[in-house]
Structure 1
Amino acid sequence: MKKTKYLLLPLAFVLLQSCAANLSYSGSPFKKSYESITSDELKTHLYIVASDEMEGRDTGSEGQKKAGRYLIEQYQKMGVSHPKSMSSYYQVIPKEALNGRRGNLPESENILAFIEGTEKPEEVIVISAHYDHVGMSKGEIYNGADDDGSGTVALLEIAEAFQKAKKSGKGPKRSILFLHVTGEEHGLLGSKYYADHPVFPLANTVVDLNIDMIGRCDPGNCGKDYVYVIGSEMLSTELKKINEAANKETVNLELNYKYDDPNDKDRLYYRSDHYNFAKNGIPVAFYFDGIHEDYHKPTDTPDKIDYVALKKRTQLVFATAWELANRKDRIVVDKK
Structure 2
Amino acid sequence: MKKLLIPVFSVFLLLSCETRNVSNTLQNSNLTESNIKGDKAFLSAYKMINADELKKNLYVIASDEMEGRDTGSKGQKKAGEYIINYYKNLKISYPKGLDSYYQKVPSEYMKKKGGETLPDSENILAFIEGSEKPDEIVVVSAHYDHVGIKKGVIYNGADDDGSGTVAVMEIAKAFQKAKQEGKGPKRSILFLHVTGEEHGLFGSEYYTDYPVFPLANTVADLNIDMIGRDDPENRGKQYVYVIGSDMLSSQLKIINETSNKRTNNLELNYKYDDPNDSQRLYYRSDHYNFAKNNVPVAFFFDGIHEDYHKPTDDVDKIDYLLLEKRTQLIFATAWELANRHDRIVIDKN
Runs of 4+ in 1 over 6 A off after TM superposition: none
Give the equivalent residue in structure 1 for 2:262.
249
Q: For 2:279 and 2:344, how far apart are their aligned partners in 1?
A: 29
1:263 CA drift (Å): 3.3
What is the distance in 2 between the residues matched to 1:102 and 1:293? Answer: 29
3-state DSSP class of the match of 1:177?
Answer: strand
Residue of structure 1 in register with 2:233 after alignment: 220
| 2: CA distance, partners of 1:196 / 1:214 | 27
Residues 102 and 142 of structure 1: CA distance in aligned 2, closer, same or farther (over 3 Å) = farther
Give the corresponding residue for 1:293. Answer: 306
Q: How much does 1:102 deviate? A: 7.5
How far apart are 1:222 and its partner, in Å?
Answer: 1.0
1:234 match: 247
Q: Which structure 1 segments of 5+ residues have no match?
A: 8-23
1:30 aligns with 2:42: yes
Distance 1:36 1:261 in 2: 34
Q: Match for residue 17 of structure 1?
A: none
Inter-partner Cα distance in structure 1 for 2:276 and 2:194: 28
Count, aligned residues: 320
Q: Is the 8 A contact 1:57 1:64 kept in 2?
A: yes
Matched residue SS, 1:104: coil
- What is the rounded CA distance, in whole Å, between the counterparts of 1:261 and 1:70 in structure 2? 36
Q: CA deviation at 1:25?
A: 6.5
Matches within 5 A, 1:101-140: 101=114, 103-140=116-153
Residues 56 and 134, structure 1, Cα contact 8 Å, conserved in 2 = yes
Alignment partner of 1:5: what SS? coil
1:204 corresponds to:
217
Contact 1:25 1:31 in 2 (8 A): no
- Whole-angstrom CA distance in 2 between matches of 1:26 and 1:83: 32
Deviations, residues 272-320 of structure 1 (Å, cap 9, x unaligned): 0000000000000000000000000000000000000100000000000
Q: TM-score, normalised by structure 1?
A: 0.94
**Higher mean C-alpha displacement, 90-99 vs 294-303:** 90-99
Q: Which runs of 5+ in 2 are unaligned?
A: 9-35
Shift in Å at residue 101 of structure 1? 4.8
Contact 1:251 1:312 in 2 (8 A): yes
Write out aligned runs for 1:78-227 (5 A): 78-99=90-111, 101=114, 103-227=116-240
TM-score normalized by the length of structure 2? 0.90
**% identical aligned pairs:** 72
Deviation string for 1:42-65 (max 9, x for gaps)? Answer: 000000000000000000000000
Partner residue in 2 for 1:5:
5
Q: Would the aligned equivalents of 1:102 and 1:186 in 2 still touch at CA under 8 Å?
A: no
Asked if structure 2 preserves the Cα contact closer than 8 Å seen for 1:43 and 1:307, the reply is yes
Letter in structure 1 aligned against 2:79: A
CA distance in 1, matches of 2:182, 2:276: 47
1:261 equivalent to 2:249? Answer no
RMSD: 1.0
Q: Secondary structure at the match of 1:129?
A: strand
